């Protein structure tokens, strides 16, 4: 069942739906003070053989938006996905402490590209756009003790790359390079605003 989130919004010409179960994306979208509904897309997120992380993120973002657009044909639907790209290898959500430990040990001292894709679809008008917002992240040369202390403190097992930059995870990093500041958290709001405006949603 869809959930509704509204904060004294301006008038919009089309309803807005976030096709995501991520609380991080929901919280980011709330910053825009536009009413929206949330619906969970049923999409297989398994990478295809040889699929590049950027291609995977774009494909899944569009698939999520399209899946929900069928349920809300007159609405503007947002789908998003993020894949951590370690030298061309996709790293997803760890799910467990053990996998998170392995991911962070592999990423220490490395530069990882967080491939964050957002797609906007309106089935009624045929509108469909996808944009990629890559974020370059340099990890510190972390010790095993630092990795363990971080994971015990924040337990970021639902985050691609096993780190929450908006929390204690920032202490794991040396640098972040991005032209869309919220992309690393999971939804690039600059690109999202541009696309939903084009699709018929009044942002301001």
Catalytic residues: 81
Distance CA 19, CA 47 (A): 19
Tokens of 81: 């996905």
d(CA 65, CA 70): 9
Give the other-Cβ count within 10 Å of 71's Cβ: 15
Per-residue DSSP letters for 118-178? EEEEETTTTEEEEEEEEEEEEEP---HHHHHHHHHHH--TTSTTS--TTTGGGGGEEEEE-
Query: What would the two tokens of residue 18 be?
Result: 């976030």
Paired tokens of 73? 């044909």
């Amino acid at each position: 069942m869809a959930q509704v989130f509204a904060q004294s919004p301006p008038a919009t010409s089309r309803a807005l739906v976030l096709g995501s179960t991520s609380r991080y994306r929901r919280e980011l979208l709330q910053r825009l003070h536009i009413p929206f509904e949330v619906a969970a897309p049923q999409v297989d997120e398994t990478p295809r053989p040889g699929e590049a992380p950027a291609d995977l993120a774009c494909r899944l973002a569009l698939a999520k938006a399209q899946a929900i657009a069928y349920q809300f044909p007159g609405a503007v639907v947002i789908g998003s996905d993020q894949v951590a790209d370690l030298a061309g290898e996709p790293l997803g959500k760890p799910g467990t402490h053990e996998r998170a430990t392995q991911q962070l040990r592999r990423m220490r001292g490395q530069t990882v590209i967080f491939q964050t894709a957002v797609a906007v679809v309106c089935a009624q008008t045929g509108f469909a756009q996808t944009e990629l917002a890559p974020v370059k992240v340099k990890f510190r040369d972390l010790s095993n003790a630092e990795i363990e202390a971080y994971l015990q403190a924040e337990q970021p097992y639902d985050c691609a790359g096993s780190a929450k930059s908006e929390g204690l995870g920032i202490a794991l990093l040396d640098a972040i390079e991005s032209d869309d500041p919220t992309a690393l958290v999971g939804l690039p709001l600059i690109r999202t605003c541009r696309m939903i405006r084009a699709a018929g949603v009044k942002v301001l």
